[in-house]
């Protein structure tokens, strides 16, 4: 009498490939959402923020100030990458990645409901710059963490595709 053992568990290669696909897709989705947010912010800075957050200055200076708030996000990215990279190595990349996603989402939502200059005065541009700094800080950590997590999750024969 022959007995055959049937396993319902996929082999390790399938598990690794599935995990790698999920990690790569998650990394890609996060990057798309982040860059979409930056695109929307850039358009809004050009068309709306000069009037809503900087009405006390000339229209040209208001537009320059609005674009300066856009640039603040890029200035804080390296700092976010260094700090979240350090803590990602110590506490786990997935944990830090989730923290950066939450930070980005909360800062984006708060920018969406931020009152204008006519409502809260100079606090409006101050809060806008602060929230943009938080967004840049979070994206700096998210970008490196997501890319590294994708590469680390990939099977050995697929790692070069993700680098």
| CATH of residue 139 | 1.20.1250.20
Burial of residue 60 (number of CB atoms within 10 Å: 0-12, 13-18, 19+): exposed
> How do residues 96-148 score in pLDDT, each as one tens digit?
988 998 999 999 999 999 999 999 999 999 999 999 999 999 999 988 888 78
Q: Are 46 and 67 in contact (CB under 8 A)?
A: yes
- In whole angstroms, what is the distance from residue 78 CA to residue 22 CA? 26
Number of structural domains, the chain? 1
C-alpha dihedral sign at 9, 10, 12, 18 = negative
Supply the range of the domain harboring residue 108.
14-157
Quick check: is 4 in a domain?
A: no
Residue 110 lies in a domain: yes
Query: Per the structure block, which two tokens stand in for 105?
Result: 């989402």
Whole-model pTM: value is 0.80
pLDDT tens digits for 34-63?
Answer: 888 888 988 998 899 999 999 999 999 999
Residues 6+ apart with CB under 8 A from 87: 96
Q: 35 in a domain, yes or no? A: yes
102 in any annotated domain: yes
163 domain-assigned:
no
């Amino acid at each position: 009498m022959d007995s055959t053992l049937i396993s319902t568990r996929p082999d390790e290669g399938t598990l690794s490939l599935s995990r790698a696909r999920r990690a790569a897709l998650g990394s890609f989705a996060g990057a798309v959402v982040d860059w979409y947010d930056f695109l929307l912010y850039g358009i809004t800075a050009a068309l709306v923020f000069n009037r809503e957050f900087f009405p006390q200055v000339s229209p040209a200076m208001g537009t320059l100030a609005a674009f300066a708030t856009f640039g603040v996000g890029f200035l804080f990215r390296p700092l976010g990458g260094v700090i979240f990279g350090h803590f990602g190595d110590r506490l786990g990349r997935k944990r830090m990645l989730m923290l950066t996603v939450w930070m980005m989402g909360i800062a984006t939502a708060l920018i969406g409901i931020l009152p204008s200059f006519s409502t809260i005065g100079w606090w409006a541009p101050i809060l806008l710059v602060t929230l943009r700094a938080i967004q840049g800080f979070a994206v700096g950590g998210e970008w490196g963490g997501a890319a590294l997590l994708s590469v680390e999750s990939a099977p050995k024969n697929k790692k070069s595709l993700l680098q």
